[in-house]
Amino acid sequence: MSDRIKKCFAKAKAEGRGAFVAYLTMGYPTLEQSEAAADALVAGGADIIELGVPFSDPFADGAVIRSAAYEALKQGVTLDDVLALAGRLRAKHPDTAFVLFTYYNLVFSKGLETFAAAAAKADIDAVLSVDLPLEERDELLDVLRPHGITYVPLIAPNTPIVRVVESAKGLENSFLYIITVKGITGARAELPPDLTARLDAIRAAVDLPIAAGFGISTQAQAEIISKHADGFVVGSALVKRLGAEGKLEGDLLP
């Protein structure tokens, strides 16, 4: 089992900061530009990169990521393309943790064993499937684990702590992705007032690192989150900027 995720969180903690988890829709604006953006994120200090696989019905995503997924699909970008790109990124960035961010229909349609073998060939560290409930997770995890790949659960704002604890069980070298707001992804001007207390409660209840995402778009928000979580996730703000500028460079968060 790869320990890159564990090392990323440990390194960030030793440096007195939250781990920077960055999301990109792969294939947007093009495969080449998304690969270059991932390179730029690594150079800019991202600890973990979520490689978003474009999907035709991204119901959990807001307008920015949904639009990016549609544009990638129009170019014919597939799960296999993203896995191939992941392999190229791994060759360049041996210490960066890569999480494949997808919807379960794509994984199931490919065949679980075939998918796990392909993800292992690309040296993916973990898989996050947006729409796979806890009760059905082991169907995928049991296939991933022999290939040294772990799973990242999404934790909704209304998930009871007892269920959060259950979600963390049986996972190795992973983290919990804590959704900060109800609804879909997308940058927001303000974070919920009760968020920090919930993060504190979750952090006290589980041994795995926790990273909070959905709505984080500024350095100030990231710093607030990092006082109550082990990391923060930024997605829509990066995807929007990449779409507008065609590349990522300079300060990654305003």
CA 42 to chain centre: 14
Catalytic (active site) residue 80: no
Alpha-helical regions (H) of 206-254:
219-226, 236-245
CB distance 69 to 25 below 8 Å? yes
Cβ count near 42 (within 10 Å)? 17
SS3 for 233?
A: strand
In whole angstroms, what is the distance from residue 45 CA to residue 223 CA? Answer: 15
Going edge to edge, which strands form the sheet with 48-52? 150-151, 126-129, 97-102, 48-52, 19-25, 231-234, 210-213, 176-179, 154-155
Catalytic residue from among 15, 32, 35, 50 = 50
SS3 for 96?
A: coil
Catalytic (active site) residue 81: no
In whole angstroms, what is the distance from residue 251 CA to residue 172 CA? Answer: 32
In whole angstroms, what is the distance from residue 142 CA to residue 139 CA? Answer: 6
Catalytic residue from among 47, 61, 125, 230 = 61
- CA-based nearest residue to 191, from 215, 158, 219: 215
In whole angstroms, what is the distance from residue 178 CA to residue 182 CA? Answer: 11
Give catalytic residues, as residue numbers. 50, 61
